Amino acid sequence: MQKIDTHFHIWDLQTNYYPWLTDNVQPRVIGDYAAIRKDYLIEDFLGDIAGSDVEKAVHIQAEHDSRDPVRETRWLQQVADAPASRGFPHAIVAYADLGATNAADVLAAHCESANMRGIRQSLIQHKVDPAATDPRESKLWASNFMLLRQMNLSFDIQLFHSDMAFGADLIGRNPDVQFVLTHTGLPMETSVQYLEAWRTGMRLLAQRPNVAVKISGFGFLDRQWNVDSIRPLVLETIEIFGIDRCMFASNFPVDKMSRDYASYWNAFDHITLGFSESERTALFQSNAEKTYRI
């Protein structure tokens, strides 16, 4: 079965600047990530996906220097256009600070790249970076957000369950924008109380028809995850959002710190063995094709 990976990253630390990978790094939600503080190029990704039946992939901005996010997009387009890359990445989700006065110019510059499809700006960045825009408090951010509809761009929405009420409101106020919830809504704990709050937030988001979800990011929860430990989260997410709004992703190379590439797709395959052929095609391929227009 053909598969599409809806969330991966590459980076060239000699060509581009990624502060979180090269500077005096502070602790992050992903814990110690020294293992990935090195180049991860398209040839590395192609090596990892060999034998996996992944035929297309969506690159998500990798926290490149926020002062020049367009540089990353232009570099990615050059990578995609090179024959050796086999078309990867087939879609690019870039970064833009929608709270900045130059947001319109940045979005327009991103759109000069043929594979540009959307934006990811974390809605929780302000909690760890005081200089970041709090989208809940910025009228300019809300105004610039409407540019996404005008430019036919999607929005990868990244937030914790505690912010899902705001997320649902944002999605509801922008019904013509395609939203994609990242990393299964970031379930970060396994306590009964925490997971019930996560379910409540996920159900709230799922009430909005213009949001899909990427089932991924289990390395955030547990670097030692296995098929049985993630099965409930995978199946609950599919139940909450429905077959036609769920997609799978690797989050490589970040989640390479947990498992090899094949382990992710083998797990998704095993968990969905009881689904029909058409349902599995939707989950592994056609939903991604529709959502990211690839």
Instruction: Return the structure tokens found at 239.
Output: 């139940």
Range of the domain at 262: 3-292
Q: Residue 34's pLDDT is what?
A: 86
- CA-to-CA dists, residue 94 to 5, 193, 222, 277, angstroms: 16, 34, 27, 33
Query: What is the number of other CB atoms lying within 10 angstroms of the CB of residue 96?
Result: 26
Q: Which amino acid does the sequence have at 168?
A: A
Kindly report the CATH number assigned to the domain that includes residue 161. 3.20.20.140
Name 40's bridge partners.
11
Q: How far is 113 from 250, CA to CA, in rounded Å?
A: 24
Instruction: Return the structure tokens found at 42.
Output: 């398209």
Residues whose CB falls within 8 Å of the CB of residue 219, separated by 6 or more in sequence, listed in order: 30, 225, 251, 254, 255, 257, 258, 259
Instruction: Return the structure tokens found at 19.
Output: 């502060």
Residues whose CB falls within 8 Å of the CB of residue 127, separated by 6 or more in sequence, listed in order: none
Strand order in the sheet with 116-120: 3-8, 54-60, 91-94, 116-120, 154-157, 179-181, 211-215, 246-248
Among 103, 197, 101, CA closest to 155: 103
Q: SS3 sequence, the chain?
A: CCEEEEEECCECCCCCCCHHHHCCCCCCCCCCCHHHCCCECHHHHHHHHCCCCEEEEEEECCCCCCCCHHHHHHHHHHHHHCHHHCCCCCEEEECCCCCCCCHHHHHHHHCCCCCEEEEECCCCHHHCCCCCCCCCCCHHHHHHHHHHHHCCCEEEECCCHHHHHHHHHHHHHCCCCCEEECHHHCCCCCCHHHHHHHHHHHHHHHCCCCEEEEECCHHHHCCCCCHHHHHHHHHHHHHHHCHHHEEECCCECHHHHCCCHHHHHHHHHHHCCCCCHHHHHHHHHHHHHHHHCC
Place of tokens 């094709």: 289
What is the number of domains present in the chain?
A: 1
Q: Residue 30's pLDDT is what?
A: 66
Q: Residue 127's pLDDT is what?
A: 59
Q: For residue 40, which phi and psi values (nearest 5 degrees)?
A: -135, 100
Q: Are 123 and 166 in contact (CB under 8 A)?
A: yes
pLDDT tens string, the chain, 294 residues long: the values are 899 999 999 999 999 999 999 997 665 666 778 889 999 999 999 999 999 999 999 999 999 999 999 999 999 999 999 999 999 999 999 999 999 999 999 999 999 999 999 999 988 765 556 666 788 788 999 999 999 999 999 999 999 999 999 999 999 999 999 999 999 999 999 899 999 999 999 999 999 999 999 999 998 888 889 999 999 999 999 999 999 999 999 999 999 999 999 999 999 999 999 999 999 999 999 999 999 999
Q: Residue 128's pLDDT is what?
A: 57
